[in-house]
Structure 1
């Protein structure tokens, strides 16, 4: 297991990208929680994340994208969905979208409805990573399924150092509910999970009140 400390000047971000591209797993910081992640195209790595997380295979993961361009290359977006993404991303905002047929996202993390949960992160580590990585990455909170979120790096390390291939040390993080997840239906916008971003703020924007 590689333990890499995050500083803008010293972290070899190309090494981290190589670890991901070669099918290994990482634990890394986001603006909400530490995440467990891997290459979204690599089924073996995805299976390992499921095993580490002790998560039911029927529950899919969120994917992180560099920007709206990378997201649009892989997923279909309506005008209203694109408006939401432009308004609330990057940040603690996730949206469920249809995956395009030509996308290279592994089917293991695509729902039976051909959907995936998408997010653009504002965390400096993730931003730097996508400067050298050209594929979306899996993102699921770094805790065991059903357990509380972890905010102390010592607990992150003790829990995962024997399970993942690389951990990015960003220190302790602030308490977080995770990202707010939404999905547009044929008639409305549905809040799937309330997170750090206020659902009323999202709904007011969607309804044209802000």
Structure 2
């Protein structure tokens, strides 16, 4: 198992092992996440096994920017406005996957959607400087258990389960990202997270 700290980080090596199908535990601006190449079904299956998560439940995907997101997903004008306003950060949005996308079908919902996010965390930003594919992002805890904020607990829980752990120390308590879906005539709040849903709704309705 590889382990890196913020000050001793071989980002090219991390990107390489992700591309080759390895699983990682890494920091985001909300929670530590478990992740892998979104195109690699074997790696995706391993994340499901590590989390002890039902296969019917999908994962969030992290994208470098709006360009990478638009290459893989359909975005309406209103969805693009929301992404530009609240990303990067603790904001996720459900979007339709394009037919030509290489995102593995294992993590695409029955109605052809994925949960998309652009992270503001320095590690993720550095990673996408050398990685050209979206990555899986699911909170680093076992399904149904509380979120973990202490790195020592993260390490003790996952160091024998993943191929690589990125140590950025303890993190602040977080609810995770806020998840939304733009329906035909309204914006649905799927999950309340660190970003205020009222702030998002005010912007969506033209009040801010």
TM-score relative to the length of structure 2:
0.98
Do the aligned partners of 2:4 and 2:165 also contact (CA within 8 Å) in 1? Answer: no
Q: Alignment partner of 1:144: what SS?
A: coil
Do the aligned partners of 1:62 and 1:116 also contact (CA within 8 Å) in 2? Answer: yes
Do the aligned partners of 2:4 and 2:10 also contact (CA within 8 Å) in 1? Answer: no
Alignment gaps of 5+ in structure 1: none
Do the aligned partners of 1:4 and 1:169 also contact (CA within 8 Å) in 2? Answer: no
Determine the structure 2 residue equivalent to 1:34. 32
Do the aligned partners of 1:30 and 1:121 also contact (CA within 8 Å) in 2? Answer: yes
Change (3 A) 1:92 1:206: same
CA separation in 2, counterparts of 1:18 and 1:123? 20
The number of residue pairs the alignment matches comes to 208
Q: Alignment partner of 1:197: what SS?
A: coil
Determine the structure 2 residue equivalent to 1:160. 158
CA separation in 2, counterparts of 1:108 and 1:65? 18
| Per-residue deviation, residues 25-70 of structure 1 (Å, max 9, x unmatched) | 0000000000000000000000000000000000000000000000
TM-score relative to the length of structure 1:
0.97
Q: Alignment partner of 1:70: what SS?
A: helix
Determine the structure 2 residue equivalent to 1:205. 203
CA separation in 1, counterparts of 2:39 and 2:122? 23
Q: What's the RMSD between the two structures over aligned residues? A: 1.1
| Per-residue deviation, residues 94-114 of structure 1 (Å, max 9, x unmatched) | 000000000000000000000
CA separation in 1, counterparts of 2:173 and 2:108? 29
Deviation at 1:10, TM superposition (A): 3.2
CA separation in 1, counterparts of 2:90 and 2:164? 24
